[in-house]
Amino acid sequence: MSALKPAASERAFDAVNIVLLIVLSLLFLIPFLAVIATSFISAEESMRRGAFVLIPEKLDLSAYDMLLNRGMIIYNAYKVTLFRVTAGTFLNLLLTATLAYGLARRTLPGRNVLVLIIFLTMIFHGGLIPNYMLIDKLGLKDTLWVLIFPGLISAWNLFIMRNFFLTLPEELEESAIIDGASPPLILWKIVVPLSMPAFATIGLFYAVHHWNDWFSASIYINDQSKMPIQVVMRNILLSGLLQDETQVELVRDPPPAATLKSAVIVISTLPIMFVYPFIQKYFVRGMMVGSIKG
């Protein structure tokens, strides 16, 4: 009797939970499906049916044709984005992890001062002009490195990473030291394998940031062939929006149609969304604790 009761309530809990999650998922999914559907309808159909279409009457690829087939604007922008996501994320992780690991040493002399120095950068910024001058002096302007170096370490991610290292059990390292392992060996053989969930998470944050960021490129890069995909996307989406009327005065043509805008959204967001499922395999419960025991 008493064994059955919790089981029944558990099943009820599961059912409610699953229904709730399905409803939430629909809430997240539908707008996105509408954007995808809109990108596949003809300009004429979008004029007729409005901007929120879930099922197209007829598939029309002209928006994609226009964006992907003529010229190489989008392809080139993809290449730039791909470069910054891969090279950028790698360097981000490398520097963030080393700094976070060093600062996570509880016995490190002066670590509070160093943490304070970093913390202050989260709050005080010099502003755009001095940054621009610095980038100029360093010779980074109009190079692809400007998309990577100025944001090598995010203090936010650094603190999360350090927090993670702080939660690693100290006994682990202590026993390794007793076994005569050197600090680099401990880092490489024990800490790094244990930190895969943290690396995956922080790496994902960096990668998505690199994918989404448009500001640094739009300010520091003049050469159109070095623009990442997000700058191209924003220019299309925001064209005609948020301008004062004197600017709109003599516009030759109306702003781009909903179909084109939707296609731009799809092209510029879909690829990065497929990264997450690959990273999920690092989020397996007990992975860390299990390896401690092993």
Partner 1 sequence: MKQRFVSLLLTAALSAALLASCSGEGGGNAADKEGGEKGPTPIYIYQNTGALNAKPEGSVPAELEKMKQHYMEKLNIEPNAIIPPQGGDAAKEKLNLLLGSSDELDTFMGNWDDYAPKGAIIPLNDLLDEYGQDIKKAWPQEAWDYMTDKEGTIWGIPRGMPATHYPIWIRTDWLKKLDLKMPQTLDELEAVLKAFKEGDPDGNGKDDTIPMMTDLNGIKNAILGGYTEHGNSNWFDSSDQMLKPAELAPGFKDFVAKMADWYQKGYLYKESFAKFDALELLKTNRVGSSSMWYSRITLLFPQIKANLPEEANYEIIRGIQGPKGKPMTASPGSTTAQVITKKSKNAAAVIQFINDQYKDIPTNSLTAAFGTNWSYIGDSKYEVELTNPELTYAGEYLLSLGTATETAYAFKDPIKEMHAEYLNKELLQLDTAKMPVDATIMYDKVQLQENIPTLGDIDRLRSEELVKFVTGARPLSDFDAYIDQLYKAGLDQWIAEYTKQYNEKKQ
Partner 2 sequence: MTPTTHTVHTARPETAAGTGAARRRLWSAIKLHRFYYYLIIPGMLYFIIFDYIPMFGVIIAFKDISPFEGVRAIFTSEWVGFKHFVRFWNSYYFWNVMRNTLLISGYKLLFGFPASLLLALLLNEVKHTGFKRIVQTISYLPHFISTVVVAGLVMMVLSTDSGMINAIVVAFGGEPIHFLGDPKYFRSILVLSHVWQTIGWGTILYLAAMTGIDPGLYEAARIDGASRLRQAWHITLPGITPIIAILLILSIGGLLNAGFEKVLLLYSPSVYSVADIIDTYVYREGLNKLNYSFATAVGVFKNILAMILILGANYVAKKMNQTGIW
User: How far is the C-alpha of 54 from the C-alpha of 280, rounded, in Å?
Assistant: 29
User: Binder to partner 2 among 1, 4, 178, 241 (CB under 8 A)?
Assistant: 241
Residues 201 to 220 in contact with partner 2, rule: CB under 8 A: 201, 204-205, 208, 212
Query: Is the dihedral angle over the CA atoms 173, 178, 179, 183 positive or is it negative?
Result: positive
CB of 155 to partner 2, least distance (A): 8
- Integer angstrom CA distances of residue 281 from 3, 184, 201, 285: 34, 27, 11, 10
d(CA 242, CA 30): 27
Residues 6 or more apart in contact with residue 63 via CB below 8 angstroms: 39, 40, 259, 260, 262, 263
Is residue 188 a contact point for partner 1 (CB under 8 A)?
yes
Tell whether residue 272 is a contact of partner 2 (CB under 8 A): yes
Q: Does position 126 bind partner 2 by CB under 8 A?
A: yes
Tell me if 39 sits within 8 A of 60, measured CB to CB.
Answer: no
Q: Considering CB distances under 5 to 8 angstroms, the limit depending on partner class, which of partner 2, partner 1, none binds residue 284? A: partner 2
Contact between 28 and partner 2 per CB under 8 A? yes
Q: What is the largest CA-CA distance in the chain?
A: 80
**The one among 148, 232, 265, 267 contacting partner 2 by CB under 8 A:** 265
Contact code string over 208-227 relative to partner 1, x by CB under 8 A: ------xx--xx--xxxxx-
Cβ distance to partner 1 smaller for residue 141 or 159: 141
Q: Does 198 bind partner 2 (CB under 8 A)?
A: yes
Q: Does 90 bind partner 2 (CB under 8 A)?
A: no
- Contact partner, 246, from partner 2, partner 1, none, Cβ < 5-8 Å per class: partner 1
Q: DSSP per residue over 240-272, as a string?
A: TTT--HHHHTT-SSPPPPHHHHHHHHHHHHHHH
Using a 10 angstrom Cβ sphere, with 0-12 exposed, 13-18 middle and 19 or more buried, the burial of residue 127 is: exposed
Residues in CB range of 174: below 8 A, 6 or more apart: none
Minimum distance from residue 222 beta carbon to partner 2 (Å): 16
Site for partner 2 in 42-61 (CB under 8 A): 50-52
Tell me which residues touch partner 1 (CB under 8 A).
Answer: 44, 47-48, 50-51, 66-67, 70-74, 76, 79-80, 83, 86-87, 90-91, 94, 128-129, 132-133, 136, 141, 143-145, 182, 184-185, 187-188, 214-215, 218-219, 222-226, 231-232, 234-243, 245-256
